Structures are given as C-alpha cells and as structure tokens.
Amino acid sequence: MKDEYSDRHQAIKMRLAGQSVEQIGRALNRSREWFHKWWNRYLELGPDGLFDLTRANHQVARRIPPELERMILTIRRRLEAHTQPGTRYRLIGASTILAELGTLHIRPLPCVRTVERVLQRNGITLPEYGSRRMDEVLAFLVECWQTLSRPVIVQFDNDRELAGWGKAARYLS
C-alpha cells in the first residue's frame, strides 16, 4: 500500500522543481484531479495543507438554550451583588447556581461542568484554589486581597501549610 502522505509531499516537491502535472501523475500513479486537490491545498495552507482534514462534525452537538445561559448568568450576578462584608465569601459558584436552578424547577437541569463552562465563556470565574503549597496559598491570598481589599482579621486553619512548623510555628511562612 502506498503512503498517501509521502506521495503528497513528493508531488509538491516535484512541482516546485518544475516538473509538469503529467510527469508527476505518471511517476506517482496519480490523477490530475488528485494532484490539483493537494496543490491547491498547499498553495492555500502551506505544508500543513498536506495533512488530512478531520471529518468530524465541527458544530457543537448540544449547546444549552440561550435562555438557560442567561438564567445562569443572572443568578451569578445576583449572588455576587448580595455580597457584603458579612457575606463576602458566600458560595457563588456553579454548584450554588445549579442548586438554585433546581429550586426553580428548571428542567432539564444542566450538569455542574456545563454551568462552569458558561461562567468561563463569559469571563466571570474566580481563581480556583486547588493546592495547599505555601507559595500558592500566598499567591491566592494576595490576589483575593487585591480584589476584595485586605481584611481586618484573618483566621487560618492550623494545617502545617498555614501555621508553620518548628521555629515557624504560628507564623504564616
């Protein structure tokens, strides 16, 4: 079996070297139509055009309805708007939004990841705090304090990452 991809490269090299389409067709045992297809793709896209294009459907198979996306965004904005000093850290994420949609009897209910995607697509996500390494904890705190202002009192868990160990005990290290 011939290697289709290497034939494409060979055909382009032969054409660039000045050989005719007929000579290329005879040498590679390919048709004029085959050559012109790949020559046009090469002219349009360069060497990347010689790869097979995916035949996958490029349309999103299931996109949530626009009115459901608006509901998600409206609920998020409402939750953000009600934050005051006492409720500044209340839950405003995807699971809270999903719970409210469930309370409103919205059917079918999207999954948590779908709600997260809607928030990401609209640029209203907050930084994720997934690591407990001290440098990441400090970076997270600085970002929060720059966004929300520095708090009067800070209370931490007594984990080693936060409370220190040995000589650094009871210090944010």
- pLDDT tens-place string over residues 70-103: 999 999 988 888 766 656 556 788 888 999 999 9
Residue-number span of the structural domain to which 111 is assigned: 66-121
The rounded distance, in Å, linking the Cα atoms of 148 and 87 is: 12
Query: Is residue 103 in some structural domain?
Result: yes
Structure tokens at 64: 């949530």
**CB within 8 A of 93, min separation 6: which ones?**
126
Residues 6+ apart with CB under 8 A from 164: 170, 171, 172, 173
- Structural domains of the chain, count: 3
Q: Is residue 153 part of a domain?
A: yes
61 in a domain, yes or no? no
pLDDT tens digit string along 129-144? 655 666 777 787 888 8
Whether 44 and 80 map to the same domain: the answer is no
pLDDT over 90 at 39, yes or no: yes
pTM: 0.43
Measured from the Cβ of residue 150, the count of other Cβ atoms closer than 10 Å reads 10
